[in-house]
Amino acid sequence: MQPLELSAIDLVAAVANGDLTAVECTQAALDRIAALDPGTNAFLHVDQASALAAAEAVDAKRAAGKPLGPLAGLPVGVKDALCTRDMPTTCASKMLEGYQPPYDADTVARLRAADAVIIGKTNMDEFAMGASNENSAFGPVRNPWDATRATGGSSGGSAACVAASMSTVSIGSDTGGSIRQPAGLCGVTGLKPTYGRVSRRGLVAFASSLDQIGPMAHSAADCGLVLETIAGHDPLDSTSLDEMVPSYTQMLEEPLAGIRIGRVPAHFGEGLDPEVAAAVEEGFRVLEAAGATIHDIDLPHAKYGVATYYLIAPSEASSNLARYDGVHYGHRTSEPCRSDAFDSPLVEMYCRSRAEGFGPEVKRRIMLGTYALSAGYYDAYYKRALQVRRLIRQDYLDAFAKVDLIGGPVSATPAFPLGEKTDDPLAMYLLDLYTVTTNLAGVCGISFPCGFTGSGLPIGYQLQAPALAEPLLLRAADRFQRLTEWHRRRPPSA
């Protein structure tokens, strides 16, 4: 039995009934990483010894007849934005190179408690800022479907490691599309849960009011399995929702008959790649075949989504990233700081440390956010953005009064060549067009493959659901995957 060809649900069952050991699963993942990752660069850190030790502990538990956790033996890649007490957590930044947190993120702790095996930390855009994974200080991730192309981002490593079957599932974070967009470009399934559904504690903050951790896998059902473990109230995260966690995987059987799916005609306007448009339209047909009805709806303020997002997210980021100042931890300049060009040696130390530690996109967003929050600009930018955010939220409430789900594209194009957009930040920001409003509204969304281009690149389909409607969201995506084979395709290298 090839562990990495199994779904997460089947792998966990195989470990539980003794058909596979956790060590076999872990070793398979480690072997594959050793073989493929030099070309992919999906992982920033892999600790074979500790992964195998965790797997051995799971096997010993089983041997001793003790009950196993719900994810026993499951190889998981974790985005390097989540704190791990036994592995570095760098956010793909020189600023945090070598930084090792003294605690586990809530999600990491829940994964460990469920007997999952954390196989390594995955590559990402620096501090989760980017849509191509080219902003990593440790090199871009290469798309497993075409190594000359980007994976999307910012959870590019988490998407690629699942796409290339280097781990069965992975954990990403989604602030404006950072799970769904790379999932779409890499042909995997990625879920952005409702804001507050998964604790943010231990997720290195990019934009606190938008960040949300979520699972990535080959199927919606596997995403549901992981979500059952990582979702739940965390009293140490004030924004965490105190709501019961349903058994997502037990709620997939009900057919889609009577489910109303919204389609936003504006999504199919200029800029949408024709092959993507065709595949997404075909996606609606699949859902229709499953019993859903399709209804054209309008999200009138969605067109301001990108502008709104690029005021709110950088504003919060400019504050969240102020702590990387070279004083207590992280990168500090080795320059002597005695230049007259600065107000004081302290200010010089701040400036040099941050100039050296942050990459260009991070600096750009810190400047954008600092500007938007400045006296005299706050009302025109940040405050106005909050007002538009409320309108977008209301759009979603209005839409979800008419339909149960909203379908559509994840990205306007399939995976683009590395380097194509790196000199054009605005083009890069527009990649978030279809995904940012989900975060601004705080609802949930999922992306899964709905076809391939003629040249063999995956195309993603996005579904969005109201807050806490993950059961329906997963059920619809699972139904889609019962009727299609797109999610079973693997890259040629795999």
Partner 1 sequence: MPEPTDNAAPYTTVIGLEVHVQLLTKTKLFCSCENRFGAPPNTLTCPVCLGLPGSLPVMNREAFRLAVRAATALDCTIAEFTKWDRKNYFYPDLPKGYQVSQFDLPFSEHGQLEAIDPKGAFEPRMVRILRVHLEEDAGKSMHDESAGTADSRIDLNRTGTPLLEIVSEPDLRSPAEARCWLGELRLLLVYLGVSDCNMQEGSLRVDANVNLHIPKADGSLAKTPIVEIKNMNSFRSVERALTYEVVRQYEEWQATGKELGSAPKQTRGWDDAAGITRGQRHKEESSDYRYFPEPDLVPVTLTVDEIAAIREGMPESPRALRKRLEETWKIPAYDADVLVGQGRALVEYFETLARLVDDGKVASNWMQQDVLRTLNEQGIAIDAFPVAAAGLADVIGRVKKGDFDTSRGREIFAEMIASGRSAEEVVAAMGIAAVGDDELMALCRELVEANPKIVADVQSGKQQAAGGLIGQAKKKNPNVNPGQVRGLCLKIIGELPAP
Contact residues for partner 1 (CB under 8 A)?
Answer: 82-83, 89, 91, 96, 99, 101-103, 105, 200-205, 207-209, 235-239, 315-316, 318-319, 321-323, 325, 327-329, 343, 345-346, 350, 370, 373-375, 378, 382
SS3 call for 422: coil
The distance of closest approach from Cβ of residue 388 to partner 1 in the complex, given in angstroms and rounded to an integer, is 16
Eight-class DSSP state of 482: H
Report residue 63 as tokens: 């041997």
Rank residues 37 and 234 by Cβ distance to partner 1 and give the closer one: 234
Rank residues 284 and 378 by Cβ distance to partner 1 and give the closer one: 378
The distance of closest approach from Cβ of residue 11 to partner 1 in the complex, given in angstroms and rounded to an integer, is 29
Rank residues 47 and 80 by Cβ distance to partner 1 and give the closer one: 80
CB atoms within 10 A of CB 286: 20
Dist. CA 192–CA 73, nearest whole Å:
24
Rank residues 88 and 246 by Cβ distance to partner 1 and give the closer one: 88
For the four alpha carbons of 99, 164, 437 and 197, in that order, the dihedral sign comes to negative
The distance of closest approach from Cβ of residue 234 to partner 1 in the complex, given in angstroms and rounded to an integer, is 9
Rank residues 335 and 398 by Cβ distance to partner 1 and give the closer one: 335
Question: Which of 7, 132, 154, 240 does the annotation list as catalytic?
Answer: 154
Eight-class DSSP state of 342: S
The distance of closest approach from Cβ of residue 38 to partner 1 in the complex, given in angstroms and rounded to an integer, is 28
Give the contacts of 223 (CB within 8 A, at least 6 positions apart). 169, 189, 190, 191, 214, 215, 216, 217, 446, 474, 477
* Cβ–Cβ under 8 Å, residues 252 and 477: no
Determine whether 79 is an active site residue.
Answer: yes
Which among 158, 181, 180, 160 is positioned nearest to 171, based on CA atoms? 158
The distance of closest approach from Cβ of residue 178 to partner 1 in the complex, given in angstroms and rounded to an integer, is 16
* Cβ–Cβ under 8 Å, residues 315 and 371: no
Determine whether 178 is an active site residue.
Answer: yes
Eight-class DSSP state of 203: B
Rank residues 96 and 431 by Cβ distance to partner 1 and give the closer one: 96
Dist. CA 478–CA 483, nearest whole Å:
9
Q: Are strands 444-452 and 458-465 parallel, antiparallel or unpaired?
A: antiparallel
Question: Helices (H) and strands (E) in the chain — how many of each?
Answer: 15, 13
The distance of closest approach from Cβ of residue 104 to partner 1 in the complex, given in angstroms and rounded to an integer, is 10
* Cβ–Cβ under 8 Å, residues 353 and 325: yes
Determine whether 66 is an active site residue.
Answer: no
Report residue 292 as tokens: 């859903």
Question: Which of 7, 136, 167, 178 does the annotation list as catalytic?
Answer: 178
Query: Annotated active-site positions, please?
Result: 79, 154, 178
